[in-house]
Structure 1
């Protein structure tokens, strides 16, 4: 990873689980967990003398392992009403990201709000949360899918009317699955621009300390310019 400190400063090591299929934020590529979130977390902890070993897993399993105390932390998570009760969170976000509302290109809707999703079948990715406004509205009919690309495929097949996916993830999927997606889906709304975090286990007594250390590290890399360098690096990620 980039921006490591001198070997003598990294006196301890922790293991964190990152989602294996959420590029450009976190994904398993060429046998290694890669992405913007991975680099930011690594750099932040390096600045406070902690080395991170990254493990990849599907997001739902990532959360389960942390919730049951089998792992220290999972990323990338929303600190919403649901997850906020189940995990320990740091205060400084890893990054902010926009959740978009997507429809088929030939759909009648030109613009839609979250409130207008009620009564419609909407694509969700299994294990993800989408903010309190969505999660608390049981009038939205959920069409779950194992991954974001599966959710968009269900949208194209007519199994859902809308799909909720982060906009930068859609940008990547549009390029990687160009023959399937390009020109066939379009963004018709925004759920929210939200902050993403590492969710730490409440069953690990050391979790609060590592959450605090991550806050300190994130403040450091934002102040010293490292964060800006990583943002530029991941602005146009390789396929």
Structure 2
């Protein structure tokens, strides 16, 4: 016969959740060092996935993240095939199409790149009347999108924008700063011809959750609670500090 002591211990053991939740999200595969696919293309690495996993883990949810090109990532969420995708700006094109959490994942600088012989210190207004490289499917600050005097030319990825600047095909390109510096570090032939010239803005990035997925709203709320939890307990600061320390030579 099982003693009352063992019955009490068994009751404690099974009083919590019977099974941890596991969900699958999609993350950008080509936005190093913030979010990029691992070499075997089975996972995503960088600041964003580290924060996403930690926030969900604090709420008892295991987040599996599949790498995907950003445009397809957004389409999967649009269709309701995926719960959420990162990393996204809240702007005039996205604010009504997705469910966003209140606490940003992180902030990043949108930087202007041009030829080495160009004068630095540029700002958004200096792009007016110029041809500026952007990446297909990427989200950009509202003030950049709304400025119709800026002529944009789309390319398949951020490296292609720097290549066009280096070749003189376009005058400027706008990229996220750490991503631009990461590309230049890996491609010294581009660094000889291209440099950062100024900043468009500093923006907050988010996970965009699907309005069409049945669990989009549920996990957006869970994620927000998780973000608040890891900020309060110091986990967020630790992740960000380790990231900034690793890439401080870019800034």
Map 1:208-219 → 2, pairs under 5 A: 208-219=217-228
Q: Please say if residues 129 and 135 of structure 1, whose CA atoms lie closer than 8 Å, have aligned partners that are also in contact.
A: no
Q: Are the structure 2 counterparts of residues 9 and 25 from structure 1 closer, same or farther at C-alpha, using a change threshold of 3 Å?
A: farther
Q: Highest CA radius of gyration, 1 or 2?
A: 2
Match of 1:12 in 2: 21
What 5-or-longer segments of structure 1 have no aligned partner?
Answer: 1-6
What is the CA–CA distance in structure 2 between the aligned matches of 1:29 and 1:206, rounded to whole Å? 27
**Are positions 1:96 and 2:107 aligned together?**
yes
Instruction: Choose between structure 1 and 2: higher helix proportion.
Output: 2
Q: Please say if residues 9 and 49 of structure 1, whose CA atoms lie closer than 8 Å, have aligned partners that are also in contact.
A: no
TM-score if structure 2 supplies the norm length?
Answer: 0.86
From 118, 124, 140, the equivalent of 2:150 is: 140
Q: Are the structure 2 counterparts of residues 176 and 193 from structure 1 closer, same or farther at C-alpha, using a change threshold of 3 Å?
A: same
**Are positions 1:190 and 2:199 aligned together?**
yes
**Are positions 1:56 and 2:57 aligned together?**
no
TM-score if structure 1 supplies the norm length?
Answer: 0.90
What is the CA–CA distance in structure 2 between the aligned matches of 1:145 and 1:110, rounded to whole Å? 24
What 5-or-longer segments of structure 2 have no aligned partner?
Answer: 1-15
Match of 1:28 in 2: 37
Q: Please say if residues 10 and 46 of structure 1, whose CA atoms lie closer than 8 Å, have aligned partners that are also in contact.
A: no
Alignment root-mean-square deviation, CA: 1.7
Q: Please say if residues 98 and 166 of structure 1, whose CA atoms lie closer than 8 Å, have aligned partners that are also in contact.
A: yes
4+ residue runs over 3 A deviation: 7-10
Match of 1:71 in 2: 82
**Are positions 1:106 and 2:117 aligned together?**
yes
From 155, 158, 162, the equivalent of 1:152 is: 162
Q: How many residues align?
A: 229
Secondary structure (helix, strand or coil) at the match of 1:156 reads: helix
